[in-house]
Protein backbone atom coordinates (compact mmCIF):
# COMPACT_ATOMS: atom_id res chain seq x y z
CA UNK A 1 0.00 0.00 0.00
CA UNK A 2 1.48 3.44 -0.93
CA UNK A 3 2.61 5.63 1.96
CA UNK A 4 0.25 8.43 0.97
CA UNK A 5 -2.82 6.22 1.22
CA UNK A 6 -5.44 7.57 3.65
CA UNK A 7 -5.29 4.22 5.50
CA UNK A 8 -1.54 3.69 5.38
CA UNK A 9 -0.87 5.13 8.86
CA UNK A 10 -2.49 4.55 12.21
CA UNK A 11 -4.92 7.44 11.71
CA UNK A 12 -7.22 8.16 8.76
CA UNK A 13 -6.56 11.27 6.72
CA UNK A 14 -9.10 14.01 6.00
CA UNK A 15 -8.83 17.13 3.89
CA UNK A 16 -9.91 20.59 5.00
CA UNK A 17 -10.54 23.65 2.85
CA UNK A 18 -10.20 26.57 5.24
CA UNK A 19 -11.62 30.05 4.71
CA UNK A 20 -11.95 33.09 6.97
CA UNK A 21 -12.65 33.10 10.70
CA UNK A 22 -12.21 30.93 13.78
CA UNK A 23 -14.47 28.15 12.52
CA UNK A 24 -11.72 26.35 10.52
CA UNK A 25 -9.61 26.22 13.70
CA UNK A 26 -12.44 24.57 15.60
CA UNK A 27 -12.93 22.04 12.81
CA UNK A 28 -9.21 21.26 12.49
CA UNK A 29 -8.91 20.79 16.26
CA UNK A 30 -12.11 18.70 16.43
CA UNK A 31 -11.00 16.45 13.58
CA UNK A 32 -7.63 15.91 15.25
CA UNK A 33 -9.35 15.12 18.55
CA UNK A 34 -11.60 12.63 16.75
CA UNK A 35 -8.64 10.70 15.39
CA UNK A 36 -7.91 12.26 11.99
CA UNK A 37 -4.74 13.62 10.44
CA UNK A 38 -5.77 16.92 8.84
CA UNK A 39 -4.42 18.01 5.46
CA UNK A 40 -5.43 21.61 4.89
CA UNK A 41 -5.73 23.90 1.90
CA UNK A 42 -6.01 27.47 3.15
CA UNK A 43 -7.66 30.01 0.87
CA UNK A 44 -5.31 32.96 0.34
CA UNK A 45 -6.64 36.29 1.51
CA UNK A 46 -9.09 34.56 3.85
CA UNK A 47 -7.42 31.98 6.11
CA UNK A 48 -5.34 32.77 9.18
CA UNK A 49 -2.00 31.11 8.40
CA UNK A 50 -1.55 29.98 12.00
CA UNK A 51 -4.03 27.18 11.30
CA UNK A 52 -1.03 25.32 9.87
CA UNK A 53 -0.11 24.47 13.46
CA UNK A 54 -3.30 22.40 13.74
CA UNK A 55 -2.64 20.36 10.59
CA UNK A 56 -0.31 17.60 9.43
CA UNK A 57 0.19 19.42 6.12
CA UNK A 58 -0.84 22.89 5.03
CA UNK A 59 -0.82 24.66 1.68
CA UNK A 60 -1.91 28.24 0.98
CA UNK A 61 -3.73 28.44 -2.35
CA UNK A 62 -5.59 31.21 -4.22
CA UNK A 63 -9.36 30.83 -4.35
CA UNK A 64 -9.39 30.52 -8.13
CA UNK A 65 -6.69 27.82 -8.41
CA UNK A 66 -8.90 24.73 -8.11
CA UNK A 67 -6.48 22.42 -9.87
CA UNK A 68 -3.77 23.25 -7.33
CA UNK A 69 -6.17 22.52 -4.46
CA UNK A 70 -7.22 19.19 -5.96
CA UNK A 71 -3.63 18.18 -6.70
CA UNK A 72 -2.60 18.83 -3.08
CA UNK A 73 -5.23 16.41 -1.81
CA UNK A 74 -4.46 13.82 -4.47
CA UNK A 75 -0.73 13.92 -3.69
CA UNK A 76 -1.48 13.10 -0.07
CA UNK A 77 -4.01 10.37 -0.79
CA UNK A 78 -6.98 12.37 0.46
CA UNK A 79 -10.34 11.07 -0.76
CA UNK A 80 -12.64 12.97 1.62
CA UNK A 81 -12.61 16.71 2.29
CA UNK A 82 -14.66 19.10 4.40
CA UNK A 83 -15.06 22.87 4.14
CA UNK A 84 -15.05 25.43 6.94
CA UNK A 85 -14.84 29.21 7.09
CA UNK A 86 -16.32 32.08 5.17
CA UNK A 87 -15.44 33.03 1.61
CA UNK A 88 -16.00 36.74 1.04
CA UNK A 89 -18.25 36.60 -2.01
CA UNK A 90 -18.36 40.39 -2.21
CA UNK A 91 -14.85 40.17 -3.69
CA UNK A 92 -16.35 38.86 -6.91
CA UNK A 93 -17.99 42.24 -7.47
CA UNK A 94 -14.93 44.37 -6.82
CA UNK A 95 -12.84 45.98 -9.54
CA UNK A 96 -9.84 44.03 -10.76
CA UNK A 97 -10.68 40.92 -8.72
CA UNK A 98 -10.57 38.60 -11.73
CA UNK A 99 -7.54 40.38 -13.18
CA UNK A 100 -5.66 39.81 -9.92
CA UNK A 101 -7.04 36.29 -9.41
CA UNK A 102 -6.83 34.64 -12.81
CA UNK A 103 -8.63 31.28 -12.58
CA UNK A 104 -6.99 28.09 -13.77
CA UNK A 105 -8.56 25.85 -16.40
CA UNK A 106 -10.29 23.61 -13.82
CA UNK A 107 -11.89 26.65 -12.19
CA UNK A 108 -12.98 28.08 -15.55
CA UNK A 109 -14.59 24.79 -16.59
CA UNK A 110 -16.38 24.52 -13.23
CA UNK A 111 -17.86 28.00 -13.31
CA UNK A 112 -18.54 28.63 -17.02
CA UNK A 113 -22.34 28.43 -16.44
CA UNK A 114 -22.15 30.95 -13.57
CA UNK A 115 -19.70 33.61 -14.73
CA UNK A 116 -19.53 33.29 -18.52
CA UNK A 117 -22.72 31.91 -20.10
CA UNK A 118 -25.05 33.00 -17.30
CA UNK A 119 -26.97 29.71 -17.46
CA UNK A 120 -26.74 29.34 -13.68
CA UNK A 121 -27.03 31.94 -10.92
CA UNK A 122 -24.33 32.91 -8.41
CA UNK A 123 -26.19 32.15 -5.20
CA UNK A 124 -24.16 30.55 -2.43
CA UNK A 125 -25.73 27.11 -2.80
CA UNK A 126 -25.28 27.11 -6.57
CA UNK A 127 -21.61 28.08 -6.43
CA UNK A 128 -20.73 25.73 -3.60
CA UNK A 129 -22.55 22.83 -5.24
CA UNK A 130 -20.41 23.46 -8.32
CA UNK A 131 -17.29 23.18 -6.13
CA UNK A 132 -18.54 19.89 -4.67
CA UNK A 133 -19.23 18.50 -8.14
CA UNK A 134 -15.88 19.76 -9.46
CA UNK A 135 -13.96 17.94 -6.72
CA UNK A 136 -16.08 14.81 -7.21
CA UNK A 137 -14.96 14.61 -10.84
CA UNK A 138 -11.43 14.12 -9.50
CA UNK A 139 -12.38 11.43 -7.00
CA UNK A 140 -12.67 13.67 -3.93
CA UNK A 141 -15.86 13.57 -1.87
CA UNK A 142 -17.05 16.53 0.20
CA UNK A 143 -18.30 15.65 3.67
CA UNK A 144 -20.16 17.69 6.24
CA UNK A 145 -17.96 18.71 9.16
CA UNK A 146 -21.03 18.33 11.37
CA UNK A 147 -21.20 14.63 10.46
CA UNK A 148 -17.55 14.17 11.38
CA UNK A 149 -17.82 16.24 14.59
CA UNK A 150 -21.53 16.27 15.53
CA UNK A 151 -20.80 17.63 19.00
CA UNK A 152 -20.06 21.09 17.55
CA UNK A 153 -23.78 21.72 16.90
CA UNK A 154 -25.53 23.80 19.56
CA UNK A 155 -28.26 22.16 21.61
CA UNK A 156 -31.69 23.61 22.34
CA UNK A 157 -31.95 25.91 25.33
CA UNK A 158 -30.94 29.21 26.87
CA UNK A 159 -27.21 29.81 26.61
CA UNK A 160 -27.22 33.00 28.66
CA UNK A 161 -29.43 35.80 29.89
CA UNK A 162 -32.78 35.99 31.62
CA UNK A 163 -35.97 34.37 30.36
CA UNK A 164 -37.50 35.94 27.29
CA UNK A 165 -40.21 38.55 27.53
CA UNK A 166 -43.45 38.09 25.65
CA UNK A 167 -42.40 40.67 23.03
CA UNK A 168 -39.05 38.92 22.53
CA UNK A 169 -40.80 35.57 22.10
CA UNK A 170 -43.11 37.09 19.50
CA UNK A 171 -40.18 38.70 17.68
CA UNK A 172 -38.31 35.39 17.47
CA UNK A 173 -41.28 33.46 16.13
CA UNK A 174 -42.11 36.25 13.66
CA UNK A 175 -38.53 36.54 12.40
CA UNK A 176 -38.05 32.77 12.17
CA UNK A 177 -40.71 32.42 9.46
CA UNK A 178 -39.21 35.24 7.41
CA UNK A 179 -35.65 33.97 7.84
CA UNK A 180 -36.66 30.51 6.68
CA UNK A 181 -38.27 32.00 3.59
CA UNK A 182 -35.12 34.03 2.89
CA UNK A 183 -33.12 30.83 3.23
CA UNK A 184 -35.45 28.98 0.88
CA UNK A 185 -34.74 31.67 -1.71
CA UNK A 186 -30.98 31.42 -0.92
CA UNK A 187 -30.75 35.11 -0.02
CA UNK A 188 -29.35 34.90 3.50
CA UNK A 189 -29.76 33.29 6.90
CA UNK A 190 -30.14 36.21 9.34
CA UNK A 191 -32.78 38.85 10.04
CA UNK A 192 -33.05 41.67 12.60
CA UNK A 193 -36.45 42.69 13.95
CA UNK A 194 -38.07 44.76 16.68
CA UNK A 195 -41.73 44.87 17.60
CA UNK A 196 -42.46 42.36 14.80
CA UNK A 197 -41.10 44.80 12.23
CA UNK A 198 -38.15 43.95 9.97
CA UNK A 199 -35.10 46.17 10.40
CA UNK A 200 -32.54 44.39 8.20
CA UNK A 201 -32.07 41.18 6.26
CA UNK A 202 -28.81 39.47 5.39
CA UNK A 203 -27.70 39.16 1.78
CA UNK A 204 -24.20 38.99 0.30
CA UNK A 205 -22.72 41.26 3.00
CA UNK A 206 -23.02 38.71 5.83
CA UNK A 207 -24.50 38.62 9.32
CA UNK A 208 -22.31 41.26 10.96
CA UNK A 209 -23.14 43.91 8.37
CA UNK A 210 -26.82 43.01 8.64
CA UNK A 211 -26.64 43.63 12.40
CA UNK A 212 -24.80 46.92 11.91
CA UNK A 213 -27.44 48.12 9.46
CA UNK A 214 -30.15 47.27 11.98
CA UNK A 215 -28.29 49.36 14.56
CA UNK A 216 -28.18 52.34 12.22
CA UNK A 217 -31.90 52.08 11.53
CA UNK A 218 -32.86 51.46 15.17
CA UNK A 219 -30.68 53.87 17.13
CA UNK A 220 -32.45 53.15 20.42
CA UNK A 221 -31.37 49.50 20.14
CA UNK A 222 -33.02 46.57 21.86
CA UNK A 223 -33.61 44.58 18.69
CA UNK A 224 -33.56 40.82 18.09
CA UNK A 225 -31.42 38.89 15.58
CA UNK A 226 -32.51 35.46 14.36
CA UNK A 227 -30.15 33.20 12.39
CA UNK A 228 -31.38 29.91 10.91
CA UNK A 229 -30.38 27.15 8.54
CA UNK A 230 -31.97 27.13 5.12
CA UNK A 231 -34.88 24.70 4.70
CA UNK A 232 -32.80 22.97 2.03
CA UNK A 233 -29.55 23.36 4.01
CA UNK A 234 -26.70 21.23 2.71
CA UNK A 235 -24.65 20.67 5.86
CA UNK A 236 -21.52 20.20 3.75
CA UNK A 237 -21.25 23.96 3.40
CA UNK A 238 -22.55 27.34 4.56
CA UNK A 239 -23.66 25.99 7.96
CA UNK A 240 -24.98 28.82 10.18
CA UNK A 241 -22.10 29.89 12.41
CA UNK A 242 -21.70 32.53 15.11
CA UNK A 243 -18.76 33.52 17.29
CA UNK A 244 -17.54 36.19 19.65
CA UNK A 245 -17.39 38.62 16.73
CA UNK A 246 -21.15 38.25 16.24
CA UNK A 247 -21.81 39.21 19.86
CA UNK A 248 -19.35 42.10 19.67
CA UNK A 249 -21.23 43.45 16.68
CA UNK A 250 -24.53 43.17 18.55
CA UNK A 251 -23.10 45.07 21.53
CA UNK A 252 -21.74 47.82 19.26
CA UNK A 253 -25.04 48.05 17.33
CA UNK A 254 -27.51 47.88 20.21
CA UNK A 255 -28.87 44.37 19.70
CA UNK A 256 -30.09 42.58 22.83
CA UNK A 257 -31.19 39.09 21.80
CA UNK A 258 -29.72 36.47 19.45
CA UNK A 259 -31.73 33.37 18.57
CA UNK A 260 -30.20 30.53 16.55
CA UNK A 261 -31.45 27.18 15.31
CA UNK A 262 -30.68 24.26 17.61
CA UNK A 263 -28.95 21.20 16.09
CA UNK A 264 -28.15 23.13 12.90
CA UNK A 265 -25.90 25.97 14.11
CA UNK A 266 -22.25 26.04 15.15
CA UNK A 267 -21.15 28.38 17.94
CA UNK A 268 -17.41 28.80 17.56
CA UNK A 269 -15.59 28.93 20.90
CA UNK A 270 -18.92 28.55 22.71
CA UNK A 271 -17.65 29.11 26.28
CA UNK A 272 -16.08 32.44 25.27
CA UNK A 273 -19.22 33.45 23.35
CA UNK A 274 -21.45 32.72 26.34
CA UNK A 275 -19.16 34.53 28.75
CA UNK A 276 -18.86 37.63 26.54
CA UNK A 277 -22.62 37.73 25.91
CA UNK A 278 -23.38 37.39 29.62
CA UNK A 279 -20.90 40.12 30.53
CA UNK A 280 -22.49 42.48 28.01
CA UNK A 281 -26.16 41.77 28.69
CA UNK A 282 -26.91 39.88 25.48
CA UNK A 283 -29.43 37.04 25.61
CA UNK A 284 -28.62 33.98 23.47
CA UNK A 285 -31.06 31.12 22.88
CA UNK A 286 -31.21 28.08 20.60
CA UNK A 287 -34.66 26.94 19.48
CA UNK A 288 -36.22 24.29 17.25
CA UNK A 289 -38.91 24.63 14.58
CA UNK A 290 -39.44 28.33 15.25
CA UNK A 291 -41.13 27.65 18.58
CA UNK A 292 -39.86 29.19 21.81
CA UNK A 293 -40.11 26.54 24.51
CA UNK A 294 -42.11 27.43 27.62
CA UNK A 295 -38.98 27.02 29.73
CA UNK A 296 -37.30 29.91 27.88
CA UNK A 297 -40.05 32.54 28.17
CA UNK A 298 -41.73 34.43 30.96
CA UNK A 299 -45.27 33.47 31.86
CA UNK A 300 -47.66 35.81 30.05
Q: For residue 36, what is the domain's CATH number?
A: 3.40.50.20
List the domain range (segments joined by +) for residue 115. Answer: 13-148
* pTM attached to this predicted model: 0.85
Q: Contact, 42 vs 61, CB < 8 A? A: yes
Q: What are phi and psi of 142, to 5 degrees?
A: -85, 130
pLDDT at residue 245 is higher than 70? yes
Give me the number of domains the chain comprises: 2
Instruction: Indicate the pLDDT class of residue 9, thresholds 50, 70 and 90.
Output: low
pLDDT at residue 287 is higher than 90? yes
Longest dimension (CA), the chain: 67
Q: Which of 92, 121, 148 is the last residue of a domain?
A: 148
Residues contacting 71, CB < 8 A, separation 6+:
none
pLDDT at residue 2 is higher than 70? no
Strands of the sheet containing 37-43, edge to edge, are: 57-61, 37-43, 13-18, 80-84, 141-142
Whether 1 is in a domain gets the answer no
Whether 29 is in a domain gets the answer yes
Task: Give the C-alpha separation, 249 to 209, whole Å.
Answer: 9
Instruction: Indicate the pLDDT class of residue 31, thresholds 50, 70 and 90.
Output: very high
Q: What percent of the chain has pLDDT over 90?
A: 80
Shared domain for 27 and 48, answered yes or no, is: yes
Task: Give the C-alpha separation, 175 to 28, whole Å.
Answer: 33
Amino acid sequence: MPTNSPTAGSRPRIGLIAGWGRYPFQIAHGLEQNGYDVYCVGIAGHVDHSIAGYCSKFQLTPLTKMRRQIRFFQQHGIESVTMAGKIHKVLFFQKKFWRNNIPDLTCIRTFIPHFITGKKNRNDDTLLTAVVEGFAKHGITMKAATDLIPEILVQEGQLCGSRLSRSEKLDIEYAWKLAKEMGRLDIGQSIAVKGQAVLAVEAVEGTDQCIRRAGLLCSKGGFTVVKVAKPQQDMRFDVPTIGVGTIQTMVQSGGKLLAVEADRTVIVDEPQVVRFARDNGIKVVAIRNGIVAESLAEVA
